[in-house]
């Protein structure tokens, strides 16, 4: 009697093989490029408004038209160069945040644009990263479904202000069933919860009590790298307002404004990292090794059925 088992086994192997790029993408070796020439700045970034830019993003199809979302976090160019690279490896930005890129590499939702005053005008976000619930491979799929902390970011590297600082729009979004709207006070809370995690605070940062004199610092470790983060809350880059803010109707709470006008400036230093012979370093094997091994295993399995 004919049995479909070999065909099913081969089909299953192919499905697994096709999923491998997503499973091992975090393991690809990639040396970060040399840091670009930076424009001199004492604070580690160039103020976008001084170059015709804005600290609000451009959002498509808002009601009323012209609303934007606050760029409420800046990773200073005074941070270590490796942290300013959009990589998982070598202690880069994705490794530092313990966040991951989009679910299975697929971007959902509309792009947003920002003008950082660096001479490039409005550009769509460099990437979107999401809280991964501790699962690097599939955790951002859970965030997409259940909601969570959500980051869009841009790098200030245009011809007029090539600082390499990273500008981020953070928010805490609702589940997909609620169309990824922002939770009440979700811009400020998303910012502060990220700061609490990045500085390993033992208690929740008191959002309602923050001022432009508030500072935090602390250390975290991930994948063999230890980071020390210093945080300053800065006023004057955004306004304490609901005017012009996307989702202002639902984000503002108890008569307060949608955002408090404070921007977090983070300076991140790598204080320790894996040695060349460490287990973390040995995980960076070429993708072709995994791919070839898996396909050979599939052929062997099918031949035995």
Q: Please report, for residues 27, 90, 94, 141, 274, the alpha-carbon distance to residue 278 in angstroms, rounded to integers and kept in the order given.
A: 14, 13, 20, 30, 6
pLDDT at 16: 42
Question: What does the alpha-carbon distance between residue 113 and residue 198 come to, in Å, rounded to a whole number?
Answer: 26
Candidates 119, 226, 102; CA nearest to 153 is 102
- Could you tell me how far CA 193 lies from the centroid of its own chain? 14
Under 8 Å CB-to-CB from 303, ≥6 apart: which residues?
none
Candidates 60, 170, 167, 55; CA nearest to 112 is 60
Q: pLDDT tens digits, residue range 61-107?
A: 999 999 999 999 999 999 999 999 988 889 999 888 775 554 544 44
Mean of all residue pLDDT scores within the chain? 78
Q: 255 has which bridge partners?
A: none
Candidates 96, 93, 300; CA nearest to 198 is 96
Is 28 in a helix, a strand, or coil? coil
The yes-or-no verdict on residue 121 having pLDDT over 50 is yes
Share of the chain above pLDDT 70, in %: 64
Higher pLDDT, 177 or 183: 183
Candidates 219, 220, 216; CA nearest to 204 is 216
- Could you tell me how far CA 285 lies from the centroid of its own chain? 24
């Amino acid at each position: 009697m004919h049995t479909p088992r070999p065909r099913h086994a081969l089909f299953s192997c192919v499905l697994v093989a096709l999923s491998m790029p997503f499973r091992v993408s975090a393991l690809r070796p990639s040396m970060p490029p040399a840091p670009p020439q930076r424009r001199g700045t004492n604070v580690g970034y160039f103020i976008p408004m001084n170059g015709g830019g804005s600290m609000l993003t451009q959002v498509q199809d808002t009601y009323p038209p012209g609303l934007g979302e606050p760029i409420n976090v800046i990773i200073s160019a005074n941070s270590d160069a490796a942290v300013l690279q959009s990589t998982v490896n070598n202690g880069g930005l994705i490794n530092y945040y313990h966040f991951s890129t989009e679910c299975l590499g697929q971007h959902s939702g509309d792009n947003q644009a920002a003008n950082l005053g660096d001479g490039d005008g409005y550009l769509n976000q460099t990437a979107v990263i999401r809280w991964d619930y501790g699962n690097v491979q599939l955790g951002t799929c859970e965030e997409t479904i259940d909601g969570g902390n959500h980051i869009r970011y841009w790098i200030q590297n245009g011809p007029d202000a090539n600082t390499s600082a990273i500008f981020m729009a953070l928010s805490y979004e609702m589940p997909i069933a609620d169309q990824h709207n922002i939770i009440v006070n979700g811009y400020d809370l998303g910012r502060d919860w990220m700061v609490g995690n990045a500085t390993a605070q033992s208690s929740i940062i008191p959002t309602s009590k923050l001022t432009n004199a508030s500072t935090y610092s602390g250390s975290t470790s991930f994948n063999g790298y230890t980071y020390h983060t210093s945080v300053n809350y800065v006023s004057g880059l955004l306004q304490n307002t609901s005017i012009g803010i996307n989702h202002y109707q639902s984000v503002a709470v108890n008569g307060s404004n949608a955002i408090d006008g404070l921007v977090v400036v983070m300076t991140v230093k790598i204080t320790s990292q894996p040695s060349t012979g460490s287990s973390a370093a040995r995980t960076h094997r070429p993708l072709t090794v995994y791919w070839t091994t898996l396909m050979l295993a599939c052929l062997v399995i099918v031949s035995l059925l």
